[in-house]
Amino acid sequence: MRKLFRNDSGRVHAVEYDEIPAGPARWLHAQIDFFATKVSPFVPPLGRGLRALGRVIERSRSQRRTLHARRGVVLATGGYIHNPEMVATHAPAYVRGLPMGTAGCSGEGIAMAEAQGAQSRHLDRISAWFFLNPPSALCEGILVDKSGERFVNEALYGASVGRALVEASGGHAFLVIDRALWRRARAQVGGGQMQLFQTLPALLNLWFNCGRAATPAALARRIGCDPAAIEATIERYNADIRSGQPDAMQKDERALLAPPYRAINCSLDDWRWPLMTLSLGGLAVDEANNGVLGNDGQPIPGLFAAGRVAAGICSNQYVSGLSLADCVSAGRRAGAAAATG
């Protein structure tokens, strides 16, 4: 879908789209799109290459068509996380994240509606996932920034840790554990606590992104911080555990850290532990029927939006399930309103 049309009374009444006619090119395009979405989280350059190949087929084989809508048009074209220019414009702190979502999440629906005078909301909101747990033992270590200070409760939900990683640490962070925690984490991997998509990254990080440091000075060299700072941070963490004081970050599960330490690089520029990102904001809609709102705050007749192309209940703060729940409830409202409109 490329363009929306409004009639003389301002109602959205048609869409223009490109279609690859049924046949081998269409089949191949569908396979490429499917694999691009599957491989993107693991091998981003391969995903980008496959998408480029898909676009070549689209350009050379598709035919332009127009579809007229008798009652209304519902946009359900996903978010914009695969559009690097939009990420740089609306959420520049997240440009180093690994975009998640389908290959088509490139903001086209948002752009098409904006071209018709629609307004958007919360485009700066990104869900950034950084799950230390599982294996749960990793949460008992400490995440420190480039000054050797902790900046988040390591046991929080992964989207909260991810946001802190971007917005509080500036994207430079190391997880400090010790040999005992490394062994417990290693035992938890494959111990029935984890699924395959969690097991592989955990093994990668425990084996190939886990530098040893016998002393605080060696640890400081790995992190790139002042040795006295990281030594003081570890001492404070241990002292609170020994004295039974609450944790400075309100974490419940804690373990004393003792040399030799291990430091896992969690920085955004390290490919071994990518920060997975998803856009949350989208077109402003009327909450009663998901009609898209114009810049004047009034509904654009005949135009509805649901899912991540629209702002919804998860747009300010995401937790697992909230986006899909929003897609279902908003889609139902939009569909019902468009069908009776």
Ligand X SMILES: Cc1cc2nc3c(=O)[nH]c(=O)nc-3n(C[C@H](O)[C@H](O)[C@H](O)COP(=O)(O)OP(=O)(O)OC[C@H]3O[C@@H](n4cnc5c(N)ncnc54)[C@H](O)[C@@H]3O)c2cc1C
Phi first, then psi: give them for residue 65, nearest 5 degrees: -140, 165
- What's 276's DSSP letter? E
Per rule CB under 6 A, count of chain residues that contact ligand X: 21
Nearest by Cα to 145 from 119, 118, 174:
174
CB of 57 to ligand X, least distance (A): 14
For residue 135, cis peptide bond before it (omega within 30 degrees of 0): yes
Q: Which two tokens mark 33?
A: 């799109």
From CA 50, how far away is CA 33, in angstroms rounded? 7
Answer yes or no: are the C-beta atoms of 227 and 216 closer than 8 Å.
yes
User: Would you give the distance in Å from CA 81 to the centre of its chain?
Assistant: 8
Residue from the set 4, 47, 77, 261 that interacts with ligand X by CB under 6 A: 77
Residue from the set 118, 123, 194, 327 that interacts with ligand X by CB under 6 A: 327
Does residue 17 sit in helix, strand or coil? Answer: strand
CB of 296 to ligand X, least distance (A): 25
Answer yes or no: are the C-beta atoms of 147 and 228 closer than 8 Å.
no
By the rule CB under 6 A, 321 interacts with ligand X: yes
End-to-end CA distance of the chain: 22
Q: Smaller CB distance to ligand X: residue 80 or 182?
A: 80
Q: Smaller CB distance to ligand X: residue 112 or 223?
A: 112
Q: Smaller CB distance to ligand X: residue 83 or 233?
A: 83
What residues between 246 and 305 interact with ligand X by CB under 6 A?
278
Residue from the set 14, 25, 53, 76 that interacts with ligand X by CB under 6 A: 76
From CA 125, how far away is CA 318, in angstroms rounded? 9
- What's 81's DSSP letter? T
Q: Which stretch binds ligand X (CB under 6 A): 95-103, 199-207, 240-248, 258-266?
A: 95-103
Nearest by Cα to 126 from 268, 304, 266:
268
From CA 78, how far away is CA 276, in angstroms rounded? 16
Specify the pairing of strand 276-279 against strand 98-99. Answer: parallel
If phi over 0 gives left and psi between -120 and 50 gives alpha, with beta otherwise, what is residue 23?
A: left
Q: Smaller CB distance to ligand X: residue 163 or 222?
A: 163
Q: Residues 98-127: x/- map of binding to ligand X (CB under 6 A)?
A: --xxx-xx--xx------------------
Q: Smaller CB distance to ligand X: residue 16 or 167?
A: 16
CB of 206 to ligand X, least distance (A): 22
Q: Smaller CB distance to ligand X: residue 3 or 212?
A: 3
CB of 304 to ligand X, least distance (A): 13
Residue from the set 323, 334, 337, 338 that interacts with ligand X by CB under 6 A: 323
Residue from the set 53, 322, 335, 341 that interacts with ligand X by CB under 6 A: 322
Residue from the set 66, 215, 316, 320 that interacts with ligand X by CB under 6 A: 320
Nearest by Cα to 76 from 293, 289, 304:
304
CB of 317 to ligand X, least distance (A): 12
CB of 267 to ligand X, least distance (A): 22
Q: Smaller CB distance to ligand X: residue 39 or 256?
A: 39
According to DSSP, the residues that pair with 129 across neighbouring strands are: 276
Q: Smaller CB distance to ligand X: residue 131 or 184?
A: 131
From CA 278, how far away is CA 97, in angstroms rounded? 9
Q: Smaller CB distance to ligand X: residue 103 or 255?
A: 103
**Site for ligand X, rule CB under 6 A:** 1, 76-78, 100-102, 104-105, 108-109, 278, 307-309, 320-324, 327
